[in-house]
Amino acid sequence: MDFFIWKENFNIGIDEIDQQHKSFLNILNDCYLQLSGNKKSVITRDFIDKLKSYAAMHFRYEEKMMELCQYIEIEQQKKQHKYFESQIAELEASGSEKREKPLDTILLFLRDWFLKHILEDDTKFAFFKK
């Protein structure tokens, strides 16, 4: 059973972005399923690589759309994207330095960031684009 469930109100109305957001939840669910039940859960290199790859692809796609639409809050979006990528880089560094963060802390951060970013920021962009 999935830990993160897609809800219809997560759809912002831009099909490609909605599909990309769903794939992000799938990455989180894969990680959760892979590590649940293991008391000393460690974030894998594969998970970090998937997050980095997803973020690079998804954020550049969103930013390109925003540039094309001349979205007035694009700089704020870019700052948020950079913040997320910096958190993933920090997570990657902590794993290589054996200062692992608890899995539940990481998954909560990813979930909360995802929900805030979609429900507030991406929804604002979708409304602007219409």
Whole-number pLDDT of residue 129: 79
Q: Where are the domains of the chain?
A: 43-129
Sequential pLDDT tens for the chain (130 residues): 677 889 999 999 999 999 999 999 998 888 887 767 665 566 778 888 999 999 999 999 999 999 999 999 999 999 999 999 999 998 888 766 555 566 777 888 888 888 898 889 999 998 897 7
Whole-number pLDDT of residue 53: 95
> Are the CB atoms for 126 and 13 separated by under 8 Å?
yes
Q: Which DSSP state fits 130?
A: -
CATH topology of domain 43-129: Four Helix Bundle (Hemerythrin (Met), subunit A) (1.20.120)
Which of 110, 78, 77, 76 is closest to 91 using CA atoms? Answer: 110
